[in-house]
């Protein structure tokens, strides 16, 4: 099982700035197990009692590169209001289209690899269509919106060596806020 100390943070490693390598299929059993561990970690991290007891920060997305593994995959585990989870295991993703509308996370984006609050807004597309593969090499095309769209863009950035603070304007952290919608 993944532990908080397994997650690299910005201060610990330059690997977060590397562009992750494409996965070839068939996918290794080791990588499939890791993907499932990543999903379980995220699911548990969103359980308030578990996260308090184990001093774990809640997360809804994680890229392999955040664990020091230079491979092009990530997972998302989004807890719905009814307690169910929307989960995605995303391998070799590409954004194929996006909305014109921009959004930002009102309380600010967070990241398991950036262990501090970063002031400012991160412009994201409100909707994106992503092509990716599942663990068995089946191609999937998925249109995602709002919080899930932000998570996909955030994790794809990780695969390209980009951290969310890179997307915040250094001179004007709230630049063009009035031209975007908050979520």
pLDDT in tens, 22-47: 999 999 999 999 999 999 999 999 99
d(CA 110, CA 10): 13
Q: Is 178 helix (H, G, I), strand (E, B) or coil?
A: helix
175: domain CATH number is: 3.90.45.10
Write down the pTM of the prediction.
0.95
Q: Which domain holds residue 149?
A: 4-182
Task: List the helix and strand counts (H, then E) for the chain.
Answer: 3, 8
Q: Give the range among 49-53, 135-139, 145-149 with minimum mean pLDDT.
A: 49-53
Which DSSP category does 1 fall into?
Answer: -
Assess contact for 124 and 151: CB atoms under 8 A: no
The catalytic site residues sit at: 155
**Total domains in the fold of the chain:** 1
d(CA 153, CA 124): 7
Q: How many CB atoms lie within 10 A of CB 51?
A: 16
Average pLDDT over the chain, rounded to an integer: 95
């Amino acid at each position: 099982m993944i532990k908080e100390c397994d997650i690299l943070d910005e201060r610990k490693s330059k690997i977060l700035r590397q562009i992750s390598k494409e996965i070839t299929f068939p996918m290794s059993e080791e990588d499939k197990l890791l993907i499932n561990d990543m999903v379980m970690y995220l699911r548990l991290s969103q359980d308030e009692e578990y996260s308090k007891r184990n001093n774990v920060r809640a997360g809804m997305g994680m890229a392999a590169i955040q664990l020091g593994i230079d491979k092009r995959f990530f997972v998302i585990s989004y807890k719905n209001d009814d307690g169910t989870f929307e989960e995605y295991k995303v391998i070799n993703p590409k954004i194929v289209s996006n909305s014109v509308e921009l959004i930002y996370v009102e309380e600010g984006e967070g990241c398991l690899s950036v262990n501090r609050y970063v002031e400012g807004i991160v412009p994201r597309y409100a909707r994106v269509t992503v092509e990716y593969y599942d663990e068995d090499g089946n191609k999937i095309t998925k249109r995602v919106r709002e919080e899930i769209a932000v998570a996909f863009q955030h994790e794809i950035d990780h695969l390209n060596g980009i951290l969310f603070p890179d997307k915040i304007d250094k001179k004007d952290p709230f630049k063009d806020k009035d031209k975007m919608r908050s979520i």
